[in-house]
Structure 1
Amino acid sequence: MKALSQKRRHPFAFVALLLLGLLVTGGLYAAATTVNQAQASNTPEGYSAEQVEEGERLFTANCATCHGPNAEGTDAGPSLIGAGAASVEFQVGTGRMPMQMQGPQAPQKPPQFNEEQTTQMAAYVASLGAGPAVPDDEWLDVDQGDPARGGELFRINCAMCHNAAGAGGALTEGKYAPSVLGVEPVHVYTAMSTGPQNMPVFSDANIPPEDKRDIIAFLQTYDQQGSPGGFSLGALGPVSEGLLIWTLGLALLIGSMVWLTSRSS
């Protein structure tokens, strides 16, 4: 005890204690700063930490069963790490997710989440890894688009599946390309950027944002025009038109034969 008491009275004891206190304080501050930076880095641009936190809660309650508790994917659903906010905006915003049952394709249905909740889940998925983002408003403003050029781009890149009139069409194994008429601009854009279902991904390298805007402008213009030529017949072109003419013509021919034979008798 006497030796310890002498060390406490040593002229450098106060300096040693001060240095020790500074080291401990600095270490704790550095650790806290590292945690804060890690949390900040997980908050995607354009979203808040509160949105990410609330989105994680919604994801755990409604999506984790199929996609895993950490969105790592399961046998029932793919991984969402790197899927991006645009994927959530399309799938959840159009009601395709959550799915009612497993099938060849997720059908569109009334959304189960409102716009705020969809944004929160998009923020959470975006925090898991870099992926396609929800487009800015300037790329959804159809007034700035060129419908004529958008029509050319649509016929080159989309018409083989969605029909030249955007009415949709059948694919293989029970799959189909849905109609793209009357679809919200943000959902048309996010579908092109994420490639949902059987659709290929059209990144900005394939179709730049301004070209996507032109395509959206074409679809909006075409949808507003309606069918000025009369019945659209599903907008399937000469196949449906020829079938209608053949059916009506054959019915008229048979009807005429029945009428003539009844008159002769």
Structure 2
Amino acid sequence: MKALSRKRRHPLAAVALLVMGLMLTGGLYAVVTTVNEAKADTTTYSSEQVNQGEKLFVANCATCHGLGASGSDNGPSLVGVGAAAVDFQVGTGRMPMQMQGPQAEQKPVQFTDSQTSQLAAYVASLGAGPAIPDARYLDGKGDATLGGELFRVNCAMCHNAAAAGGALTRGKFAPALAGVSNQHIYEAMVTGPQNMPVFNDANIPPQNKRDIITFLNTIESQGSPGGAQLGSLGPVSEGLFMWIAGIGIIIVFTIWLTSRTS
């Protein structure tokens, strides 16, 4: 007992306890992260898809992202970005980029669905990352009310409360979300393209992502019941419109009155 007591008072005992605590915390974090990632759809690809995807990658993407997708001065490494990132970037036409700029802009898609899947298979084989989302989270049948609350808290500061998009700094922007497929919305949340933060399953669980998608579907289907949208930019655009229209009406009325008196 005395020997054990002396060991407890050893000057390195505190350091040993700290190291053990850090290792335990790190282990628990790794387990939680693995569980969260496991909630995503664990899409599996055949070796043929991976091989075809590698050929497509070398021919179309390696110039910027480097052989083996290890990255270069012109493009980041894609190891660990997952199939979802590839499906979003390539499936929306943002990749391959036509030119360097503040951010990749959406343009006509350059690959077929099959080729996009092959590219996703190759990148997914390089390291674990977000997978293609499960179809049950993309049906648009979640809670639109809760989705609206989550959207306003997490997304509206960039995308606007009506999901009409908005300007950011240094020539960047948050795009409007009308017309974006449910799958691409989900993939954007889990991969964080451009300046968007990553909302992993620990931040927003898959069911809540489904709720946000349902909210976006709802406001898009409703249109603008209050009249002209005016860009859905809120009181600034509405006030500017009323100011210009009001001044215009006053000028026209003034000209009409002067012409009558003369």
The one of 59, 67, 70 aligned to 1:69: 67
- Contact kept in structure 1, 2:43 and 2:131, CA below 8 Å: no
- Contact kept in structure 2, 1:162 and 1:168, CA below 8 Å: yes
Distance in 2 (alpha carbons) for counterparts of 1:45 and 1:194: 16
Give the drift of 1:259. Answer: 1.8
Q: Equivalences for 1:42-191 in 2 at 5 Å?
A: 46-143=44-141, 145-191=142-188
User: TM-score, normalized by length of structure 2?
Assistant: 0.82
Structure 1 runs of 4+ aligned residues shifted over 3 Å read none
Identity %: 68
| SS state at 2:116 partner | helix
Q: Which runs of 5+ in 1 are unaligned?
A: 1-43
Distance in 1 (alpha carbons) for counterparts of 2:180 and 2:201: 21
Distance in 1 (alpha carbons) for counterparts of 2:117 and 2:247: 56
Give the drift of 1:45. Answer: 5.0
Q: Quick one: which amino acid aligns to residue 111 of structure 2? A: F
Query: What do residues 26-54 of structure 1 show as CA deviations (whole Å, max 9, x unaligned)?
Result: xxxxxxxxxxxxxxxxxx85111111111
Distance in 1 (alpha carbons) for counterparts of 2:79 and 2:251: 63
Distance in 1 (alpha carbons) for counterparts of 2:139 and 2:256: 60
Query: What do residues 199-223 of structure 1 show as CA deviations (whole Å, max 9, x unaligned)?
Result: 0111111011000000001111111
The one of 175, 178, 190 aligned to 1:193: 190
> How large is the RMSD of aligned CA atoms in angstroms?
1.0
Give the drift of 1:229. Answer: 1.4
- Contact kept in structure 1, 2:43 and 2:132, CA below 8 Å: no
| SS state at 1:142 partner | coil
Pair 1:210-2:207 in alignment: yes
Distance in 1 (alpha carbons) for counterparts of 2:73 and 2:173: 23
Partner of 1:247: 244
Q: Quick one: which amino acid aligns to residue 148 of structure 1? A: T
| SS state at 1:70 partner | helix
Higher mean C-alpha deviation, range 90-99 or range 47-56: 47-56
Q: Which runs of 5+ in 2 are unaligned?
A: 1-41
Distance in 1 (alpha carbons) for counterparts of 2:140 and 2:115: 26
User: TM-score, normalized by length of structure 1?
Assistant: 0.82
- Contact kept in structure 2, 1:89 and 1:122, CA below 8 Å: yes
Query: What do residues 141-193 of structure 1 show as CA deviations (whole Å, max 9, x unaligned)?
Result: 212x1111111111110001001000101111110000111110110000000
Pair 1:229-2:206 in alignment: no
Q: Tell me the number of residue pairs that the alignment of Structure 1 and Structure 2 aligns.
A: 221
Q: Which has the larger radius of gyration?
A: 1
